[in-house]
Amino acid sequence: MVELQINTTQNVNINFTAASVGERILAYVIDWIIKIAYAIVIYQIMFKLFQIDDLVKDMDYWSQMAIYVVFYLPAMFYTLIFETILDGQTIGKRIIKIKVVKIDGYQASLSDFVIRWFFRIIDLNMMSGVVALIAIIASSKNQRLGDMTAGTSVIALKNKVNINHTILEDLKTDYMPTYPNVIKLSDNDARIIKDTFTTAKATRDYQTLIKLRNKIKEVVEIKAVKQSNDVEFIDTILKDYNYFTQNM
């Protein structure tokens, strides 16, 4: 099991589990079944029911190829189309619950999906996918060549990280901060504060909450606490930190 650490645009490190080779192969097989089913349906409807086949057979070779390409174009661009529409997932990936993401924390763009799709020629079409298999196994981040070039990887969503596992806080659009000096804290400080705060609050460890409050006041240089209790104070500190760091 390969762990990926993605640094988000808020400088928050989030750990994900990279999709396994088996998961990626299974998603690939499902996608191929869908593409084959599409080809069969198109052939039966367009070339048999509407008898386009009879019209095509009187054309020259290149005209015939052009007609076939037009009808089967969606199957050729299947992966690119669905990864763009479904935010990094094909139908197969969605069923298996895996997804393409940028390893720098940004959302994958159309250009990233185009690069991945183009490199399928090398990764998957040459040597029946052996190139992709070797690349994924050899890569520390389970990346095929297309992923390495686009700066992406495929992660498993089964262990999707919740906001509670990060230093991020839900803030209302009209949120007004109370303590500007929270910018003295680092991301690591905020992470330690949140982890300690969450544990102490859940276990009703009031002594730890008092010690945490005093330490925050010392580091952030807060002389007067404006909240009525330690829980509200520490919660405000975390929200203020998020407000200032997200708007810097």
pLDDT for position 58: 73
pLDDT at position 112 is 94
In the prediction, which pLDDT does 159 show?
54
Whether the predicted model's global pTM rises above the 0.75 cut: no
- Res 75: pLDDT: 92
Predicted confidence at residue 35, as pLDDT, reads: 95
Using 50 as the pLDDT threshold, list the residues of the chain that sit under it: 10, 12, 161-165
- d(CA 100, CA 95) in angstroms, rounded, equals 14
Q: Is the dihedral of CA 220, 222, 226, 232 positive or negative?
A: positive
Q: Residue 163 has what pLDDT?
A: 44
Per-residue tokens: 208: 């730890």
Q: Per-domain residue ranges for the chain?
A: 3-156, 164-246
